[in-house]
């Protein structure tokens, strides 16, 4: 090849790499915005409750509504849009989320707020499934896990950075001010998606074929592992503040420092987890579940020592969210031809696990001390180790052993 041809090829490759990075950054922005919209409620429950004239528990149902919308509505919408261009699906999901959050900002009706949150959750689940499909289509097969981690990491970073900042804005401008910012960011993400994300068309068959493979027993097994993994995390982390106050003995601003450390750990774990998923997703899940169990045991035994508690809490976030890309990878891998529909299922399993874990941890501390939440999380985490060991022996469908997702055709960038 002549020097001129090599230079031209390098320029084409550079432009192509730049377009891929921009597209992945846009997917990250979308999940970051949706993650902020989901979790902002946690930091402003008192403000929302007072404004809507409901109890704190009723305000908390806004979070439950979005989680259930994502767990149930996400897979349904994914099935209904299975044959549509994924770029169109992403745009539609962001548009629905924008409208739902705008309704939340403008209404004073509690029932309508609940409905808007449920709709936003369904749109979030749809965006994630389509985002994974687009991300996978943009990279070589050996970088699949890293593409998935980019999509997932938007949620992790939203918890680490977006939610604390949004809560601060809420304290200064009111909770509606924070959600107004979410609406604006959703508009920016929508514009970026229209301008950057390429067309990605599905050729993987209809819903019937997708369902048959996406809900195969081998896929259910990994979804069960996802349920257990996030249940163990939620059983402890939902009640981490009471634990830090009564067991570790910290309060005030130091609690925020510990929570920020956890948030940073989840972001680091998610980004790094993609590389480990590409190397060996099944083994990563064994290491991840074991790491969470050891970290929770350390919190229970050594939680009274602030420095060690901080390290253990960091490790919980690192190992816990480090598993997320591998859980996604394994579900799509084992679904084979049903990969498109399966994209939406790990998030559903995780949300159901979070709901179960938070209830289990609440029951534990209701009848004991705050440290009981760590014990409950530890018990679930130990069970998840056994599940991870068992799923290690599962293999993709024989007919398509190398299939990670339904075939996709990447069209011209809009």
Q: Is the pLDDT of residue 194 over 90?
A: yes
178/220 same-domain check: no
Read off the pLDDT of each residue in 284-301 and give the average, rounded to a whole number.
95
At 378-406, the pLDDT tens digits run: 999 999 999 999 999 998 876 544 444 43
176/245 same-domain check: no
82/231 same-domain check: no
Which of 202, 235, 265 is the last residue in one of the domains? 202
130/225 same-domain check: no
* Predicted local confidence at residue 396, as pLDDT: 85
Which of 153, 179, 202 is the last residue in one of the domains? 202
6/114 same-domain check: yes
414/338 same-domain check: yes
Give the count of beta carbons closer than 10 Å to the beta carbon of residue 72: 17
At 254-288, the pLDDT tens digits run: 877 887 888 889 889 988 898 999 999 999 999 99
Question: Angle formed by the axes of helices 345-366 and 372-391, to 10°?
Answer: 150
Which of 179, 202, 225 is the last residue in one of the domains? 202
- Entry pTM: 0.79
Here the CATH number for the domain that contains residue 410 is 1.20.1250.20
53/164 same-domain check: yes
Q: How many domains does the chain have?
A: 2
At 32-89, the pLDDT tens digits run: 999 888 888 877 777 888 899 988 778 878 887 888 898 889 999 988 888 899 999 9
113/2 same-domain check: yes
- pLDDT tier at 204, thresholds 50, 70, 90: low
* Predicted local confidence at residue 122, as pLDDT: 93
Q: Is the pLDDT of residue 224 over 90?
A: yes
196/278 same-domain check: no
184/318 same-domain check: no
162/238 same-domain check: no
Instruction: Give me the domain span that covers residue 395.
Output: 205-414
270/408 same-domain check: yes
């Amino acid at each position: 090849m002549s020097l001129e041809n090599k230079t031209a090829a390098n320029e084409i490759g550079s432009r192509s790499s730049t377009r891929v990075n921009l597209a992945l950054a846009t997917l990250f922005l979308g999940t970051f915005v949706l993650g902020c919209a989901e979790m902002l409620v946690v930091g402003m429950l008192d403000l929302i409750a007072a404004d809507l004239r409901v109890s704190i528990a009723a305000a908390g149902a806004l979070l439950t509504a979005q989680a259930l919308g994502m767990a149930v509505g996400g897979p349904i919408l994914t099935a209904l849009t299975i044959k549509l261009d994924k770029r169109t699906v992403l745009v539609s999901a962001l548009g629905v989320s924008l409208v739902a959050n705008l309704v939340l900002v403008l209404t004073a009706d509690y029932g309508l707020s609940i409905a808007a949150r449920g709709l936003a959750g369904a749109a979030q689940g749809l965006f994630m499934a389509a985002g994974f499909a687009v991300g996978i289509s943009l990279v070589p097969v050996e970088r699949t896990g890293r593409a998935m981690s980019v999509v997932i990491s938007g949620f992790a970073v939203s918890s680490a950075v977006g939610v604390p900042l949004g809560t601060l804005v809420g304290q200064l401008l009111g909770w509606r001010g924070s959600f107004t910012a979410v609406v604006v960011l959703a508009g920016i993400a929508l514009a970026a998606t229209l301008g950057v994300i390429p067309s990605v068309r599905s050729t993987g068959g209809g819903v019937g074929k997708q369902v048959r493979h996406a809900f195969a027993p081998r896929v259910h097994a990994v979804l069960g592992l996802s349920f257990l993994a996030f249940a163990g995390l939620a059983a402890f982390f939902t009640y981490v503040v009471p634990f830090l106050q009564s067991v570790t003995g910290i309060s005030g601003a130091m609690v925020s420092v510990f929570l920020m450390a956890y948030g940073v750990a989840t972001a680091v774990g998610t980004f790094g987890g993609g590389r480990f998923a590409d190397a060996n997703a099944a083994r990563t899940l064994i290491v991840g579940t074991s790491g969470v169990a050891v970290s929770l045991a350390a919190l229970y035994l050594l939680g009274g020592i602030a420095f060690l508690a901080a390290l253990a809490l960091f490790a919980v976030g690192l190992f816990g969210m480090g598993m997320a890309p591998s859980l996604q990878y394994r579900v799509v891998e084992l679904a084979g031809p049903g990969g498109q529909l399966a994209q939406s299922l790990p998030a559903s399993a995780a949300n159901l696990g979070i709901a179960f874990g938070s209830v289990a941890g609440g029951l534990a501390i209701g009848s004991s001390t705050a440290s009981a939440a760590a014990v409950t999380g530890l018990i679930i985490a130990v069970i998840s180790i056994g599940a991870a060991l068992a799923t290690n022996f599962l293999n993709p469908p024989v007919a398509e052993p190398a299939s990670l997702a339904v075939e996709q055709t990447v069209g011209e960038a809009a």
